Amino acid sequence: MQHFSRIALIVLDSVGIGALPDAEKFNDKGVHTLGHIAEHQNGLSMPNMMKLGLANIEPIQGLEPVAEPQAYFGKMAEISKGKDTTTGHWEMMGIFTEIPFKTYPEGFPKELIQEFEKRIGRKVLGNKVASGTEIIDELGEEHMKTGAVIVYTSADSVFQIAAHEEIVPLEELYHICEVARELTLDEKYSVIRVIARPFVGKPGHFTRTANRRDYSVEPPEKTVLNRLAEAKKDVIAIGKISDIFAGSGITRAIHTQSNMDGVDKLLDTLAEPFHGLAFINLVDFDSKYGHRRDPVGYAKALEEFDTRVPEILAALQENDLLIITADHGNDPTHHGTDHTREYTPLLIYGRSLSPIGQSLGIRRTFADLGATIAENFSVQAPKIGESFLSHLK
């Protein structure tokens, strides 16, 4: 069996590949992020991902499978009871989330908001489920006049705080988030993530900045990342990965501004020597296009990523393994603005592997990834997941 000295794991945030069998329970019957974007655009120009075998995973209207895919390919099911970023990434690294995280479809309880207002010395606006761009359009002006911060949530377990950078300086916003983080760690509330959502601009023309910051809870048990770090391997987190794991098991964190900046930083990372895992999340697909229900923008982002694939392949050394997947869906043609319950694509490429990839079938859980990575680096396997390392030849 081959072992690899470096693994690069790329998560295309929200690029799902069709409804999971239990999608109906999530109000997501018939969703298909990649398929519906391709259908909407009458095809997608992603020649490099096609060469790897993206369209070989399953038939997708407008995308042609290739005769000789360069990568091993398949799709993965999520067994955890959730469709958010945290649940998806944690499952990849071996955690089964059986009890869904607490969500707040009616907004946060009054007593929590009152305590929060008291502690931060500012009032709260909103306190409801909303889309982040819509709620700043709706309440941004009032926020600027009164200095009250905008609090909102979604179908996920998130406490999001939006504020204009010129009204609430970033340092203060981050402090406010720390207060919210502390209050919502209480079991009574158990919110998974507090998120700072700074924005700039004039009423009617607000834009969010890249100064977003996530305050996550630590995973409830050790993940494959912890096992790697304990075994003195490098665990390099690029983009929001470090936030998602609250820094746990990460040996180096690199923050990014955008998908393309993320790819640049991955290339920089691959150009340097390391031994272990480079784990990157490209969030624009999700935050800029999926939640905004913008299939045209989403398609462009996919095509833009595709143009960078040759550079990524060229940056790989003989003994490297590249894995491309996603953490959930976010079908921009589906109702609402939330994630969608989907399979995620799986593409695995290595220069030392056979030039024609085989099917890895339908993986029962995202944790097959963690199990594979653990086996590769000879660290303790996660409780769930089956390694497919021996299939890679």
Ligand X SMILES: O=P(O)(O)O[C@H]1O[C@H](CO)[C@@H](O)[C@H]1O
Most distant CA pair in the chain: distance in Å?
Answer: 64
Residue nearest to Mn ion (CB): 85
Query: Going by DSSP bridges, is the β-strand pair 149-153/124-129 parallel, antiparallel, or unpaired?
Result: parallel
Find the shortest distance in angstroms from Cβ 195 to ligand X.
6
By beta-carbon proximity to ligand X, the closer residue of 56 and 325 is 325
| Residue 344 contact among ligand X, Mn ion, none, beta carbon within 5 to 8 Å by kind | none
Place of tokens 């207060």: 179
DSSP H/E element including 30? none
| Residue 131 contact among ligand X, Mn ion, none, beta carbon within 5 to 8 Å by kind | ligand X
Do 329 and 37 meet the contact criterion of CB atoms below 8 Å apart?
A: no
Find the shortest distance in angstroms from Cβ 5 to Mn ion.
28
Do 87 and 30 meet the contact criterion of CB atoms below 8 Å apart?
A: no
Distance CA 276, CA 242 (A): 16
Find the shortest distance in angstroms from Cβ 286 to Mn ion.
4
Look up residue 288 and give its amino acid: K
Find the shortest distance in angstroms from Cβ 72 to ligand X.
29
Give the interface segment with Mn ion, choosing from 7-15, 71-79, 163-171, 295-303 (CB under 5 A): 7-15
Annotated binding-site members for Mn(2+): 13, 286, 291, 327-328, 339
By beta-carbon proximity to ligand X, the closer residue of 27 and 131 is 131
Distance CA 197, CA 188 (A): 24
Find the shortest distance in angstroms from Cβ 261 to ligand X.
18
Annotated binding-site members: 13, 286, 291, 327-328, 339
Give the interface segment with ligand X, choosing from 20-28, 35-43, 67-75, 155-163 (CB under 6 A): 155-163
85 is a site residue for Mn ion (CB under 5 A): yes
56 is a site residue for ligand X (CB under 6 A): no
For the residues of 39-77, what is the DSSP string, one character each? Answer: HHTTS---HHHHHHTGGGSS-BTTB---SS-SSEEEEE-
Among residues 277, 340, 351, 345, which one has the least CA distance to residue 313?
A: 351
Distance CA 302, CA 15 (A): 9
| Residue 13 contact among Mn ion, ligand X, none, beta carbon within 5 to 8 Å by kind | Mn ion
Which spans of this chain sit near Mn ion (rule: CB under 5 A)?
Answer: 13, 85, 286, 327
